[in-house]
Amino acid sequence: MKIKLFPILLSFALISCGGSNDENSNDEENDTVEVVDSLQTESYVAGDMNVISTVYGNILALNLKRQGLSFLNAEKFTQDVSDHIANKTAGLQVDTLVSQLTRIQKATNNFAVMTDDQKSDAQEIFGTLFYFDFQKAPFFDELVVKNFGDGFVDSWNNGTQPSQEAYKVYADYNAKQASKKGDDFLVENAKRSEVKVTESGLQYEMIREGNGERPSDTNTVVAHYEGTLIDGTVFDSSYDRGEPTEFPLNRVIPGWTEGLQLMDIGSKYKLYIPYNLGYGAQGAGAQIPPYSALIFTIELKEIK
């Protein structure tokens, strides 16, 4: 089993998706819990953040345990994180810490056989790396540290899962955060002179002008593209596959249907797509969280 050494990947998966980054590990929760489809406007009260902090601790512990990080002591881990938060630890050499943890992993057969010193070192490094990553979480400044710690310890030691009601509060919060982040990005992006905005809210930027026909929504087109989240994370790319993709314009997300009809053959555009013109409240698989604004670079090659 390959242990995932980078907490940054794990915590962002949890924060943005409200669940496990193991595609098979959250089936039970997915059967009973749905992300709230309508975004509320009221602020979260303290009681909600208590719940969110506890559930975050629950989910994080369950995921780390599934990864086989048996060297972790739950009480020590949560105390280390709490100390880092209280002391506002700075000046972390992340690359150095990752290298140290990697060396321990290799020397201990994926942490399977460890001396007390190795366990202590790995525990301290992992807690520090997690803190560094967690600073980027949307609720870092609001986290109720005690509730987070209690939730983590309970799930680590007892396998406790959050209740359906608590998970809904957590999932709704994450949906709001994802939506707000996308909305804020699009507001700022629209201020750039090279970006145009349609009535639907779709934003587009011409990178290269074409000189051919434009498709209609009943056409099938051939295009090269790369799709990213607003943080630059690539989730799909025909360039990586080495060949353009063929698809009917009335069978794709609304942002593509509208955006590609603005393009001449041979043109290359960048589309900035609000969540309601993308994958909406559901997101798409593990890579596109609910309520995500998306960026696509697209070259229109052919109309069929």
**Strand 245-248 to strand 220-229: parallel, antiparallel, or no bridges (unpaired)?**
antiparallel
Choosing from 22, 121, 150, 236, the catalytic residue is 236
Residue 247 has what DSSP assignment?
E
Selection from 129, 116, 22 nearest residue 66 by Cα: 22
The whole-angstrom separation of Cα 65 and Cα 73 is: 11
Annotated catalytic, 279? yes
Annotated catalytic, 204? no
Chain position carrying tokens 């209740």:
163
Choosing from 15, 52, 104, 253, the catalytic residue is 253
Annotated catalytic, 15? no
Choosing from 225, 269, 272, 291, the catalytic residue is 225
Annotated catalytic, 236? yes
Are the beta carbons of 242 and 272 closer than 8 angstroms?
no
Choosing from 269, 279, 288, 291, the catalytic residue is 279
Backbone phi and psi for residue 195, each to the nearest 5 degrees, phi listed first: -100, 130
Q: What residue spans of the chain are helical by DSSP H? A: 7-17, 27-32, 46-66, 74-87, 94-107, 116-134, 145-158, 164-189, 238-241, 254-260
Annotated catalytic, 111? no
Annotated catalytic, 253? yes
As annotated, the active-site residues are: 225, 235-236, 253, 279, 296
